[in-house]
Structure 1
């Protein structure tokens, strides 16, 4: 019963607002348009604030794991990169062709596998 009274109250409130807007539109159009622009601007500011503080920071679980893995790999291999740069500059002067071949065959072994939503393989022999 409380819900029914509440919904009736909301409908009456919305009806009065529509009547007030229509009356304001026909009697003083300039102030109506100004009020409309101000209401839209305030709504946009409120939406922007809610988005900036609450909705923007949400990340899917996979993205969180990926960022964590990238951060760990940067910390772990920070010193190795500096050593590789100095060694690679010295070897480039000696054998640039050999260096290019090694770069194409090297794999990024420091990357971490992130568990995802993998579908189970169907047993095709059972069909």
Structure 2
């Protein structure tokens, strides 16, 4: 019984640290090569996603909560997304539960036109700034 508790405590600790910041914020020191400091990872819960749109064939934008917009990049594109009434977003790895952070991988499941569903593998690239959201074409704004 104690071994099970210890294993679950380790799994819980790993899940909690999965979305922890990975470096300093923009106000922190520069990297050794003189570049910008690493960005803190931005996270959201899958249940907070309330809209999506397609950008380029390999790009998906998610509206998370009221104001946040995240960019996802699909490996090889995401067919049938333009006409889908709904999609499912499933985090890879299983340990993180329903929480996704920038640089995480997930799958977008789209009801298919020629098959029951299409699965697209995506990477959570970044959270857009307010200015970047405003600069999106209206049809790309989730």
TM-score, normalised via structure 2 length: 0.21
Pick the structure with more helix per residue: 1
TM-score, normalised via structure 1 length: 0.23
Larger radius of gyration: 1
Question: Which of structures 1 and 2 has the larger relative contact order (alpha carbons within 8 angstroms, sep 6+)?
Answer: 1
